[in-house]
Chain A
């Protein structure tokens, strides 16, 4: 609670106490009026002041003025009753003002608290960086650290700036960035990103960026500005509020004038001016749209905050809204559903020891930088001694030949085998890259190298389907055969293979054209080569974005790590948030309309009106905060 909130709380308590005491003091007439005016002024003086200033500044349509007119009106009605010999009711005016202030106070505290909660969730901003000076380690503002400076990160500290580990190794807690609770092992030469917490041992890091370009700054900037991009719901509320308040005020005037006139002139009845004026005043109390105006942006803010805590960055409320309407998800295959790294999958028709075959092939390919040869080297358990290899010949588009341990090794595709007149065996279900190997002119079998699926891919597709996604599509530049196998394993509805990057844009274009109704299309990629597609789709989701600027730039939703299960989670969060928004809209407008009707017919008094105003707002704010809890499966 800040100072202002404390002051208000004291005023609420004091005036409530006076109000209750006043009830038991047996006075009447003018002294009684004065007695009740004390708590009224204590609790309402700032509202009166604000209303007065509003009139001077020609901004009369504001809730302070409405509250003033309503309560002052109620007091005047009380005075008239006093004058006519009955006992006027002043309690109501004071109570209405009191409840209004309680509501405002609660709103201010609740919003302040949720603002703090959310910003705490996103608190990844490092406060300092340790650099070495003549007098030992010194803490400096990360903003002042230049590129290429050595910084020291002790266990328990946050890495302040992106960089490369110069010495030391240990594990990092990346939960604040990715939502992933498993620590990440790093060692010398590894790139590390800011915002991670060093868990185990001191690290010396050579910075590669300035603080303002570091991952932490980028993410904070993105999340903080996210709620500036307003969603359609928010725009609707702004427009609604603009129409609603004046409409209610004019109806209040009509309610105060028309029924009494009609009764008097046409029906010959008692006009009941007082009663209709009272109903009109209740109308004014209900007219404030604050429940909506406060709770809707709060829901979005909480949703975005909760999502970023789970490692899902959503760039704006509008994207959160679109995400909740997605019914088609298009995936890029490589790097999204598959790991994007090649691994030795299988070995066929090999007469010698399989390990030896891989070793031979890896040695023959030892000079190559091709990803295939890298995967062969990776599959090899032993250290590769380059001196065992000589006479390496790279044959572009076919493979390599080399002399390994005195034997002539050829490793490559079928073209190479036919050129060398070696009798090879075709791989029947080749779904990867096939490396045929021959030793001294004899066929020694082939090695199947393929891109492996990510562990969560199949489950992610299944979860997407169970959360209402109608259609899943996979796009790939690979051959049809490979795509077919992956698509079948993952149970995606359809796939398009053999696409160039530009074909992917056309393909997404066509899929958007096929969309029925208002369902949206999301494209998920790894941010490499697919920036145009990311921006073409209704919503672009980039994954594995830790440290990749291109992906953060191009996408609307950024998944901090490359776990495909984050996709259904993101959609789930968006749906929950939008459900809360809709609940609040329906609830707030519904209750207000009912109360307006009730008070128009004189059934509901000002007490009910205050509930419609303040109570609804409190409930809506509490409901909005629910969006913060993402309810992830973890």
Chain B
């Protein structure tokens, strides 16, 4: 399953870090962060519940880039 989220982040480098962090989160198959559109497309593993996965994604992103936000 794929879902798209609005995000807020200051720099392109930070967006790249968010992408890395999201990809490493359990339950996420693939992720693309689009800095220019301030959007994030997340593809979840089969059977993973986005509602359960996304808070962990957010926590991981906060870890690498304190100044980011994902609007769930």
Contacts and interface: CB of A to CB of B under 8 A. Distances in A.
Contacts of A59: 17, 63-64
A118 B36 contact: yes
Interface in B20-59: 32, 34-39, 41
Question: Per DSSP, are chain B's interface residues mostly helix, strand or loop, or mixed?
Answer: mixed
A387 B12 CA distance: 72
Interface in A298-318: 298, 301
Interface residues of B, number: 18
Contacts of A224: 34, 37, 39
B37 A227 contact: yes
Interface string A210-233: 000000000000001101100000
A293 B12 contact: yes
Nearest to B39: A224
A322 B56 CA distance: 38
B66 A225 contact: no
Contacts of A107: 11
Given A57-B64, A115-B36, A301-B36, A228 B41 contact: yes
B72 interface: no
Nearest to B63: A57
A294 B10 CA distance: 10
Interface string A46-68: 00011001100101000100000
A115 B9 CA distance: 13
Contacts of A225: 34, 41
Contacts, number: 53
Contacts of B10: 104, 108
A201 interface: no
A471 B63 CA distance: 53
B11 A115 contact: no
A439 interface: no
Interface in B57-72: 63-64, 66-67
Contacts of A598: none
A289 B13 CA distance: 9
Nearest to B36: A301
B11 A293 contact: yes
A228 B33 CA distance: 7
Nearest to A52: B66
Given A107-B11, A108-B10, A238-B16, A297 B66 contact: no
Interface in A352-397: none
A65 to B, nearest CB: 12
A248 interface: no
Nearest to B32: A228
A507 interface: no
A63 B66 CA distance: 13
Contacts of B63: 57, 59
A290 interface: yes
A241 interface: yes
B56 to A, nearest CB: 15
Contacts of B11: 104, 107-108, 290, 293-294
Contacts of B38: 115
18 contacts: A50-B66, A53-B66, A57-B64, A59-B63, A63-B13, A115-B36, A118-B36, A119-B37, A225-B34, A225-B41, A227-B35, A228-B32, A228-B34, A228-B41, A290-B11, A290-B13, A293-B13, A297-B12
Given A59-B63, A115-B36, 14 more contacts: A49-B66, A57-B66, A59-B64, A227-B34, A227-B35, A227-B37, A241-B13, A289-B13, A293-B11, A293-B12, A293-B13, A293-B16, A294-B13, A297-B12
Closest 4 CB pairs of A and B: A301-B36, A228-B32, A293-B13, A57-B63
